Amino acid sequence: MTTTITPSLTEQQIADYHEDGYIIVRNVLSPKETGELRRTVQQAVKRDAYPSTLKYPQPAKYTVSGNRLADPGLTAIAEHPTVVGTVEAALGQPSYLTAYVAYLRTPGDKGAGAHCDYKRWRPVGSSMNWVFAIIPLTDFDSEYGPFLVSPKSHKLTQVIDPEAHILDLNRPDAGELAPFIDPELKAGDLLVVNEHVWHKAPAGTTTEDRCGIFNKYCAVNAPPAAGYYPYNPAALDALSDDSKPLIPVCFDKPITTTRLLIEDTSGQESKFLLHRDGEWKLPGGEGWEEEKLVGWDVGARIGSLQELTKTQLDLAVPWMSYIEDIEAEDGICRIYGFSDENLDLDRLANGDYDWFTRSELQQHLGESDAICHTVDKWHRADIIRGKGKACHQSRHQFEA
C-alpha cells in the first residue's frame, strides 16, 4: 500500500499495516536530501565500516551503525518527524531507536535470502514489538537490487500464551509464505516493516553502490529480551532535545558485570534467589560480549550469564529477559530475569545462597535497595517481555 507523506497514519492505514505487515510512505526525503545522505554514507563506509576486515569496494555488505549516528550528516534521519511519526503509529506506542543502521552493498554483492529479523539473541531483534524503518538512498529496483517482502508473513508467528508473564512464540513455517512482492521502493521513500515479516534482497546488476537506511525502533514498553544496544553520550547529544527520548540507554562506561534475578513461582508468593558475598547479591558476575552471529549489534550478555549460573549453581537457564542496567563502580551491570515453577528450591538454597520473598527482601535490604527495585521492575504489568537466548541457541530461536 502507498500513502501520501504524513507524520502519522489514519485508522485505516494502521489496520492495513497490521493486516499486510508493512506500509509505504512515498517521497519522505527530497532528491537533494537523499543524494546528500547517500554521499555521507558512502564516505563513512570508505573511512570506517563494519566489518573492519572488508576493504571498499570489494563486493560485500558494509555497515555503518550504532553510535555512528553522531557522525556529521547522519543524525537527522534517525529523528525525522515523518519517520518517527509513522513508526510510532505502527507500534501503537512511543518508540526507542534500538539500532541505527546504514547498509551499503557494493557491485558484486550476492544480496540476502529470505528471512525474518526477529532474533532472540540480538538487542536489535529481540523486542516483542519493533519495526524496521527502511529508507532507500538509491532506487531498490532490478538494477540496484530490490527489497522484496512476503505480505502477511508476520501472521505466521503468534504468541503462544498472551496471558503469560514472559511471552513465547510459535515457530513459523516458511513453507506457508505468501509469494514475495516488490514494493517498488524509490530513493527517499519510507518502508515501515513489522519485525516478523519475511523479506529478501536479491543482488542487482548495477556498477554503483546500493545504499539505504535500515533503522530499528521498538515500543518503549517492549524492551529487547537480549538487552538494549548501549549508546554513548555523543550519540545522545547529537539528537535534538525533543528527540533525546528516542535513546533507551546511554552511558560512557562499559558493561562489565551481569546478574540474574531468579524467580521461583511455585508458591502463592514468588521467591528470589540471592547470593551472600559480603552482602546479598544476585547470582552472576563478570560478563562478556556475545560475538557469534551478532557483529555490530553489541550488548547481549545472555551467553555469559548462562555460563555463570551453570558454574555457580549448576543450573541450566534456558532463557532470560532483560530488566535494566545499573551503574557500578567499575562500569555497568546488566540485569536479566528468569522465572520457573519447577526449580529445586532446597538444592539451590545451600551454602551462601538463599530464597527471599519480596517482603523479606524489604526487611533484609530496605525498600530503597537496588534488588527490590529490580524485582518491582520485573513485575511491572505494563512491560511486554519475551524470551532471550544466547547465540549458540540461535538455530532453535523459536523453540521454548
Are 154 and 238 in a shared domain?
yes
- Which has the closest alpha carbon to 25: 213, 192, 182? 192
Domain's final residue, options 246, 266, 287: 246
Q: What is the pLDDT at residue 292?
A: 62
Q: What is the pLDDT at residue 397?
A: 56
- What's the CATH code of the domain at 142? 2.60.120.620
- For the chain, what is the radius of gyration of the CA atoms? 22
Are 78 and 217 in a shared domain?
yes
- What's the CATH code of the domain at 310? 3.90.79.10
Are 223 and 265 in a shared domain?
no
Q: What is the pLDDT at residue 4?
A: 40
Domain count, the chain: 2
Are 238 and 266 in a shared domain?
no
Cell of 354: 538463599
Are 334 and 210 in a shared domain?
no
Q: Determine the number of helices (DSSP H) and then strands (DSSP E) in the chain.
A: 8, 20
Rounded to two decimals, what is the model's pTM? 0.94
Q: What is the DSSP letter of 159?
A: B
Are 222 and 275 in a shared domain?
no
pLDDT per 10-residue tile (average), the chain, 400 residues: 54 94 97 98 95 93 96 97 96 97 97 94 96 98 97 96 95 93 98 97 95 98 97 98 98 96 96 92 91 79 96 96 93 97 94 94 90 97 96 58
- CA dist 251 and 332 (Å) reads 8
The end-to-end CA distance of the chain, in Å, is 35
Domain's final residue, options 197, 219, 246: 246
Are 103 and 193 in a shared domain?
yes
Are 219 and 342 in a shared domain?
no
Q: What is the pLDDT at residue 395?
A: 56
Are 107 and 13 in a shared domain?
yes
- CA dist 31 and 206 (Å) reads 20
Are 149 and 279 in a shared domain?
no
Tell me if 199 sits within 8 A of 113, measured CB to CB. no
Are 183 and 89 in a shared domain?
yes
CA distances 197 to 22, 141, 399, Å, are 8, 20, 19
DSSP 182-239: -----TT-EEEEETT--EEEE----SS-EEEEEEEEEETTS--TT----B-HHHHHHS
- CA dist 262 and 246 (Å) reads 30
Domain's final residue, options 212, 246, 280: 246
- Which has the closest alpha carbon to 61: 174, 210, 262? 210
Domain that holds residue 272: 255-396
Antiparallel, parallel or unpaired: β 61-65 and 101-105: antiparallel
Cα 83 from chain centre: 18
Q: What is the DSSP letter of 169?
A: B
Q: What is the pLDDT at residue 367?
A: 85
Q: What is the pLDDT at residue 1?
A: 40
Q: What is the pLDDT at residue 158?
A: 94
Angle (CA) 102 147 111, round 5°: 75
Cα 35 from chain centre: 28
Are 298 and 175 in a shared domain?
no
